[in-house]
Structure 1
Amino acid sequence: MRGGAAAGSALRPRERIGRAAPAGRGCGGEPGREWFRAGARNALRRQGGRRLPHRAHRHAALPAGASAAAERRGADGRGDRAAAVAGHDLLQPDPDPAPRVAETRVTSPPRVWLLLGQRHGDNAQLRALAADLGAESREIQLDFNGFCQLPNAALGASLLSLRGRPAEAAPPWPDLVIGIGRRSVPAARWLRARSGGRTRLVHMGRPRAHPRHFDLLLTTGQYAMPDAANLIRLALPWQAPLAEPPAAGPARHVLAVLGGDSWTVRLDEATAGTLLHRARAAAARHGLPLAVATSPRTPPRLAAALRARLGSAERFYDWHAAGGRDNPYREWLGQAAEIVLTGDSVSALSDAVWTGCPVQVVAAPERPWLRLITRPGTPLRIWRRRGGNLALGAPPPDLDALFADLEARGLAQPDPEGGWRLPPCCAALEAERHAALARLRALLPCAE
């Protein structure tokens, strides 16, 4: 190396190409490699372009593939320095990998995987997003074990929270993985690690993991996620189109939807009565009959109390009594002139808004313990407003925060009688979706 340095220093200054070798390093490292190649190129120019004989070419006993093997060894510094550059054409720069990447983008369709969980509503959002993306997708069903209760920071990029590796999770690894909720995060990160970091990750809801682990986050206002450069806050969850599109002719009824209890909300007969009162007023205003539907979470006691108050001309579907069979919910949504529902389900709200008709939301009472600890002025109020992505102790979804976000966007107005009113706003939601899809498509290898 000392002799090579002397030869390089004898070159005229205008012939030097690349950076000079750092003192004391000779040709080691990237700067030394540039200096070595520059000196070789200039020496070749002085000899009329004739290549210098190389040790790898002089030894007849060297196998034909040794040159390529020596080139691979040179990347990590092992082996002889001359062998490390054996086979290089010193008259040409290193080949640019960009054409190979471009060829892959043109000829290979993107591979999109969906990480399905146990919640039908979450899985429906994943499928709806994949359908709007327009790319073929593979569904990976995740079967969780008890370790899924551990924080994602402890699980890392692993399959420890699964009962076994899904059979579908095999090479070739995907270009894009879409997950939702907290539990699928370790599996998504494991897939990225197996792909060598090439797989892009998109996550919906709140991952309860640092945003740096994802390329794009799609969330809504009830989760209190902190702002981030790779986060898009949607007005409502990603919704699949109605199985039955809104009827082209005149509407047939006003629809009332009674939700149910959750660990933050408890419906009572007073709430059911308010729902029925407002729905009947809307039906009288439109001059249409009333249809009432319950949900899988509706307590049977409330369904029975509501049915006892309905007239013979008012249609009623009791989900529990029918066992969920022959459910007309989607069809009734498409036939409604106006929809009145309880404010306990964001999915039901999204269903109603995407029909394009006016929507009334009857406020669902929070459970007393939650109202007590999160009343205004208490420290836990800040926890609920800002701690949505905590790995441990994240607050429950805050539906009031969702409606406040909708109000700030101009999509909802407070109702003087309590609750909210949402005028038709499909155009604004479509524009929001198009912007989110543009950012998502930019992550695909075939994006233009």
Structure 2
Amino acid sequence: MGESNRQTSERARGTVPRVWLLIGHKPGDNAQVRELARATGWPCEEKRVVVRPEWETAKPRIRPSLSHVDLARSDALAAPWPELVIASGRRLACVALWLKRASGGATRIVMVGMPRHRRGEFDLMVVASHYVVAPGRNVALHDLPLLRIDAAAIERASAAWRPRFAVLARPITALMLGGPTGGLRFDLAAARTLLEAARADAARSGGALYVTTSRRTPKPIVEWLERARADGEVLHVFDAAAPPETNPYHALLGLAEHFIVTTDSLSMMVEVARLGKSLAIFPLDNDEGPVERTLERLGLLRPLEPRRDPIPAGGWISRTLYRLGLPIHSRDLSAIPRRLVERGLACWLGDPRVAPSAGADDEVERVAERVRALVAADPCPAKQPG
């Protein structure tokens, strides 16, 4: 692919920065990092970071550190240091801060998302509407997560999978399952309710139901789905060790007519919306503990309704404080699905489907301009050893 006029001009001036993308184990985070990098127009080098097994679910304290990184399985992090690092997530925030310290403070950090701590040490935080944050000099606010569909990948997958899809009754309804995460409950009871509603939705359109699980879908739910599969339904079980071409995700994006997605799966919801396809959202309830249930039973707290209420991240204390009238200070776990419904890009599962739109508008270019301005304000290269 040829260079843009801006990139050619920057190369002539010697101002094209060295850019590293920190790539972790979360596909949604990686997709946003790559999309923002693409929009800058600069060449980038990906650095794959693998965390130690004990840190795959545990969350390290945000600080300049590689102590949670499996260095033997990760790409080398060594000089010459980058002028710019783009990353997402707590684990990679620690790596980005370490790189900034290693470069003598010259490496600039762009974080997709909002770290809980040390926010002043990040040069730019790219924050979607499900984060609650005040505007600031190092904050770039936008509406939906920065995700762009890989049209070429969809076309290739559609061509490869079309013969297998040809035997399915049309229209195809794709049910894409996520899993429990950060305060949202997805247990067997929720899975049963979801599958019943999805079958009813597919029956109204008269086509086949194609069910896919994800990395987060709990094993008991997967096993139950395998037992509950009905004639005419297709179930694909996610396997992290399987070759990518065996995953029908991109083929479904190209060949399915309707989609049902759980609210924990921000990436899948936004990707379907950006395609302008028919999208129904299944709202997961907050993961209530015994204290909340007792207070609700006594009438001291009202239950949260995910179609209507914000669901604060941070556990039962944050949810209780919100219901007592105090503001949210972290993430709103139901903000993105509510926003998609408000904008007419989706409906709640069970409600009348909305007509497919032209797709969600794309804010990535505006955010990329903030990144380019950040580097242009201090174009000197990162300090290298020696």
Match of residue 117 from structure 1: 24
Unaligned 5+ residue runs, structure 1?
Answer: 1-101, 389-396
Distance 1:321 1:252 in 2: 29
C-alpha spacing 1:150/1:332, structure 2 compared with 1 (3 Å): closer
Distance 2:334 2:318 in 1: 13
Give the alignment partner of residue 268 of structure 1, picking from 182, 187, 208: 187
C-alpha spacing 1:114/1:416, structure 2 compared with 1 (3 Å): closer
CA shift digits 1:169-197 (9 cap, x unpaired): 33333221112122333442343345454
Give the alignment partner of residue 440 of structure 1, picking from 364, 371, 380: 371
C-alpha spacing 1:422/1:387, structure 2 compared with 1 (3 Å): farther
C-alpha spacing 1:255/1:404, structure 2 compared with 1 (3 Å): closer
User: SS where residue 91 of structure 2 aligns?
Assistant: coil
User: SS where residue 276 of structure 2 aligns?
Assistant: coil
* In the alignment, structure 1 residue 244 sits paired with structure 2 residue 163: no
CA contact (8 A) 1:292 1:316 kept: yes
C-alpha spacing 1:119/1:284, structure 2 compared with 1 (3 Å): closer
Match of residue 37 from structure 1: none
More displaced, 257-266 or 353-362?
257-266
What is the CA-CA distance between 1:126 and the residue it aligns to?
Answer: 2.1
Distance 1:143 1:309 in 2: 36
Q: How many residues align?
A: 333
User: SS where residue 86 of structure 2 aligns?
Assistant: strand
What is the CA-CA distance between 1:361 and the residue it aligns to?
Answer: 0.8
CA shift digits 1:251-276 (9 cap, x unpaired): 75111122223352332344334433
Unaligned 5+ residue runs, structure 2?
Answer: 1-8, 293-314, 380-386
Matching of residues 81-160 of structure 1 within 5 Å: 106-142=13-49, 151-152=61-62, 155=63, 157=64
Give the alignment partner of residue 283 of structure 1, picking from 178, 202, 224: 202
* In the alignment, structure 1 residue 355 sits paired with structure 2 residue 265: no
User: What code does the residue aligned with 2:333 have?
Assistant: L
Matching of residues 219-368 of structure 1 within 5 Å: 219-242=127-150, 243-245=153-155, 253-319=172-238, 326-368=246-288
What is the CA-CA distance between 1:142 and the residue it aligns to?
Answer: 3.9
Match of residue 215 from structure 1: 123
User: What code does the residue aligned with 1:440 have?
Assistant: V
Give the alignment partner of residue 361 of structure 2, picking from 412, 421, 429: 429
Match of residue 336 from structure 2: 402
Distance 1:167 1:315 in 2: 38
Distance 1:260 1:377 in 2: 20
Distance 1:210 1:324 in 2: 38
* In the alignment, structure 1 residue 379 sits paired with structure 2 residue 340: no
C-alpha spacing 1:370/1:315, structure 2 compared with 1 (3 Å): same
What is the CA-CA distance between 1:201 and the residue it aligns to?
Answer: 1.8
Distance 2:207 2:284 in 1: 26
Distance 1:229 1:370 in 2: 41
User: SS where residue 280 of structure 1 aligns?
Assistant: helix
Match of residue 45 from structure 1: none
Q: TM-score, normalised by structure 1?
A: 0.60
CA shift digits 1:384-438 (9 cap, x unpaired): 95332xxxxxxxx542233344456x255764958x97764564432x1222122
User: SS where residue 201 of structure 1 aligns?
Assistant: strand
User: What code does the residue aligned with 1:192 have?
Assistant: K
CA contact (8 A) 1:374 1:384 kept: no
CA shift digits 1:118-156 (9 cap, x unpaired): 43443333233323333221223445578996643xx3x
Distance 2:340 2:353 in 1: 10
Matching of residues 151-190 of structure 1 within 5 Å: 151-152=61-62, 155=63, 157=64, 168-190=76-98
CA contact (8 A) 1:260 1:299 kept: yes
C-alpha spacing 1:412/1:426, structure 2 compared with 1 (3 Å): closer
Greater relative contact order structure (CA < 8 Å, 6+ sep): 2
What is the CA-CA distance between 1:343 and the residue it aligns to?
Answer: 1.8
C-alpha spacing 1:132/1:371, structure 2 compared with 1 (3 Å): farther
What is the CA-CA distance between 1:204 and the residue it aligns to?
Answer: 1.0
More displaced, 334-343 or 236-245?
236-245
- Over the aligned positions, Cα root-mean-square deviation in angstroms equals 4.3
Q: TM-score, normalised by structure 2?
A: 0.69
C-alpha spacing 1:387/1:110, structure 2 compared with 1 (3 Å): same
CA contact (8 A) 2:171 2:256 kept: yes
C-alpha spacing 1:262/1:191, structure 2 compared with 1 (3 Å): closer
CA contact (8 A) 1:300 1:320 kept: no
